[in-house]
Amino acid sequence: MEARGNIEQALADSLKVLAARTPFEKITIKQITDGAGVIRVTFYNHFQDKYDLLEWIVKNEIIKPVDILLTNGMYSEAVKLMFGNLKKEQGFYMRVADMQGQNSFPEIVERNINVLIMNVLPEQTAKPSAYPWLIPGHVAAYYAHSLTFLLLSWIRRGMEEPPEEMSGIYEYMVSHSLWDVIRDMESNEKFVCRTDLV
């Protein structure tokens, strides 16, 4: 009997192959299982539906690889790896990026990035804050939303910019205020996001 991880990976690989030629919404469980060489019951032993399988792919290819970097304070490297891992499966992610509705790719990505950020934020302390709104849940939601926006806009543009450049852009955006960005854009110098920061 195949190990659990091997079956899950086979189902994920089958979904990726199918997504290259069929809109995600039209892919059936039978097509996925046929491509993986397993029966339908096997699929349901591992996943609830194809959206659950898509979430497994996001967690295992995008989220888990960067988690260890984040927990060790390697923030720039984590973001760079996230963009790089998306680029490795460019065709697949470009096909699923425009999914809409509940359990869509954007929703799955944002939800998982939110959890990832929550795991590295310090716990709420009893000490009163000057800004009571700044609780871990709000902070994680804000940064998860902004990173998801950048990832999706990059994917939808065809992933033309290299992952290193995109991680540099992200680092620039999160380390500067809107007012800094406006001043940089208005300056006489060419507006350049420094990718050497990451």
What confidence tens digit (pLDDT) does each residue in 29-54 have? 999 999 999 999 999 999 999 999 99
Mean pLDDT, residues 108-117 taken together: 96
Mean pLDDT, residues 163-178 taken together: 94
Q: How confident is the model at residue 197 (pLDDT cuts 50, 70, 90)?
A: very low
Question: Phi and psi at residue 128, in whole multiples of 5°?
Answer: -65, 140
- What is the rounded CA–CA span in Å between residue 146 and residue 150? 6
pLDDT of residue 173: 93
- What is the rounded CA–CA span in Å between residue 8 and residue 53? 8
pLDDT of residue 131: 81
- Residue ranges of domains in the chain: 1-47, 50-197
pLDDT of residue 192: 57
- What is the rounded CA–CA span in Å between residue 69 and residue 112? 16
Q: How confident is the model at residue 103 (pLDDT cuts 50, 70, 90)?
A: confident
Token code pair at residue 9: 């990976």
Helical H segments across 64-104, by residue range: 64-71, 75-88, 90-96
pLDDT of residue 134: 82
Q: How confident is the model at residue 196 (pLDDT cuts 50, 70, 90)?
A: very low
Nearest to 100 by CA among 25, 182, 189: 25
CB of 102 within 8 A of CB of 157? Answer: no
What is the assigned CATH class of domain 50-197?
A: mainly alpha
Query: At a CB cut-off of 8 Å and minimum separation 6, what does 149 contact?
Result: none
CB of 33 within 8 A of CB of 7? Answer: no
- What is the rounded CA–CA span in Å between residue 73 and residue 92? 30
Token code pair at residue 161: 């910019």
Domain 1-47, CATH among 1.10.10.60, 3.60.21.10, 1.10.150.170, 3.30.360.10: 1.10.10.60
Please tell me whether residue 99 adopts helix, strand or coil conformation: coil
pLDDT of residue 185: 86
